[in-house]
Structure 1
Amino acid sequence: MNDHDKREFMSELNLAFEAARQPLPSPQVLRLFFDRLAPYPLPMVLTAIGRHIDTSEFAPTPASILKHLPKMSDGRPEPDEAWAIAIRSADERETVVWTQEIAEAWAIASPVFDGDEIGARMAFKAAYARIVDRNRGANLPPQWVVSQGFDAQRRIEVVEQAVRAGRLQLTHAQAVVPLLTGESDPVPTVDVEANLARLKAIVARVGRAQARASAEKSARAREDAEHTAELKRETARRVAGYQAEVWA
């Protein structure tokens, strides 16, 4: 949401408080509502408030509305996935695209990896959880970086996969491309320009796919909001009709 959405957001939130027969909270608390829900599109937030009205007898809180919204990922791998990424770096030929948090946790666990893989895994997961919690508390986003191995062909493949997954931006990929003719290739056999063009094409396809997914998600949210609004109007008509009969 943005500042232009505040009026419609406040109107729906006011309706939720009226339905619970509670007054609106202070301006400071209302700002807290908006700040916590701002990462989501307005139609999704309106739908979530409507679902709260339908399922709860109490006035809403930011947490109660967030329960009806999809959990937003910050892009960090879960511990098991992070471990699977980290152990690839044990092979010096392998290029690894990982977060600095994974690299930091691996530096703690790797000294015992050769003799005790289970112990290393436990140490890694504990360190990774601690590092991620620390960085999340400091509002630091994950930073994906490339740890290059000796196998030049694998560098190409791994970088392409990372670009497709949205974990590596083209500028980062470009920094790796000039190094694709590494020491493992005595004769330069890698077409750097062709690989760069291929990476650009991948980035373009990923961008178009993300745009389509975002548009479809917003459309579904608008449909949900319209459906909820229609249900509310129908309920209001029924209540008005019932009251007219009672007081006739």
Structure 2
Amino acid sequence: MTPSDKPAFLAVLSRTFRTQRQPVPEAEILDVWWTKLEPYPVEAVAAAFSKHLDVSRFAPTPAEILDHLPKRGDDRPEVDEAWAIAIRAADERDTVVWTTEIAEAWQVARPVFHGDEIGGRMAFKAAYARIVERNRGLNVATQWLVSQGHDAAQREEIVSRAVREGRLQLTHAQAAVPLLAGDSEEPAPGVDVAANLKRIREMLAGMGTARERSQAERQRRARETADRLAAAKRETARRVDEVCGSSQEASAIGGWRFCCLCEAKDHHEPATCTIGGYDFCDEHRPVQRRAAQRVAAYEGARP
């Protein structure tokens, strides 16, 4: 979806929640919905909401709607398979064919793994899931690399199997095992045997220790939480001023527009029209003629 699809998306979500007799989520929660469903076309999202109404009597969650959307497939290993690949790197004799994401997650888990294998596995799974989700969001393609071990015979076997499984191109495999080039009248490409290992080292350079990254992540989350709380306080103060003042302005929170009269009752109802700078839902849509009559009557009653 694109930003221009927000009104249609909000209308679909609002109808679904009202059909289930539930209030429309707060603006902050709407942002979560948008983030989770934004990668999909608005038509597919609408169909997923409709499917939910067919199978459930309760208001949906993002996860339930995602279950009704087509899966975005790729060739990334699932987390358990990724762990089985990564753990081979604990033995320096073993050659490992892994993705850049597995390599990055292993660097996070390795300090923990050497003292606590179970803790290392848990740290790896959490890091891998986070890294994969980030790269999928950025549309980063999967990249397979060879981390060479000391055992040359095993190296040829592992790399050959990766070629057969389609995880490595033959030219990349030849960089690690030149014998895979076979008989050819043309010379094999002059690639450094340690090129792939160097690429991994460059990718991981500057990542810092797991403890430093964990501390930086906690500090970042604390700052984000403080910013959200400050923004919420400012928004609350603004809304109180609007309700207590002489007029009620149109409410727009986080880009989502709601009925100003419903907002005064601390209820979020999506706006369907804007009249005189104010947003209204269908229930509170003013009748222009009656409004004019009320103003005229008020003016006539003034001394």
Which structure's relative contact order is higher, taking Cα pairs within 8 Å and 6+ residues apart? 1
With normalisation by structure 1, the TM-score equals 0.48
Bigger CA radius of gyration: 2
Structure with the larger helix share: 1
